[in-house]
């Protein structure tokens, strides 16, 4: 797991992360009227838009057979304020293939 660094309390920002097979471009957007964060992902020829950021073992699990990484979101509460990531109340972590498989095994066990 690698914590995604550099998230600042602004309404829109682009982060670039290195992956085994290329660069992951994350666009984070904060919507103050509804107090929610959203994410767009661009990776190789794949674009996924409008993912609501909430606490999840693998936020992009439904694309587990397409993407070779996962995204874990954790914190003391759901990220709903513009400074939740910069203050450390919530964090986003990049998962590698093995970590995604560990989470899948956890789901398969029915715990």
Rounded to whole angstroms, how far apart are CA atoms 22 and 24?
A: 7
Q: What is the pLDDT of residue 110?
A: 66
- Structural tokens at position 37: 């964060």
Rounded to whole angstroms, how far apart are CA atoms 90 and 35?
A: 14
Domain residues for the domain of 7 are 2-108
Q: What is the pLDDT of residue 111?
A: 56
What is the per-residue DSSP string for 7-47? --SSSEEEEEEEETTEEEEEEEEEETTTTEEEEEEEETTEE
Check pLDDT > 80 for residue 24: yes
Number of domains in the chain: 1
Q: What is the pLDDT of residue 107?
A: 80
Mean pLDDT of 63-82: 94
pLDDT tens, residue by residue, 93-103: 999 999 999 99
* Average pLDDT score over the chain: 94
pTM metric for this prediction: 0.91
- Structural tokens at position 64: 């587990």
Closest CA to 96 of 77, 75, 76, 68: 68
Q: What is the pLDDT of residue 66?
A: 92
Please check whether residue 25 is in contact with residue 42, taking contact to mean a CB–CB distance below 8 angstroms.
yes
- For 63, 110, 111, the CA distances from 48, given in Å and listed in that order, are 9, 28, 29
């Amino acid at each position: 797991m690698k914590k995604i660094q550099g998230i600042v309390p602004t309404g829109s920002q682009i982060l670039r992360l290195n992956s085994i097979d290329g660069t992951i471009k994350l666009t984070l957007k904060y919507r103050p009227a509804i107090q929610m964060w959203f994410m767009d992902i661009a990776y190789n020829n794949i674009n996924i838009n409008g993912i609501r950021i909430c606490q999840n073992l693998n936020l992009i699990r439904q694309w587990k057979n397409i993407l070779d990484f996962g995204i874990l979101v954790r914190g003391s509460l759901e990220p709903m304020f513009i400074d939740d990531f910069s203050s450390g109340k919530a964090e986003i972590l990049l998962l590698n293939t093995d970590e995604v498989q560990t989470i899948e095994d956890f789901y398969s066990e029915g715990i």
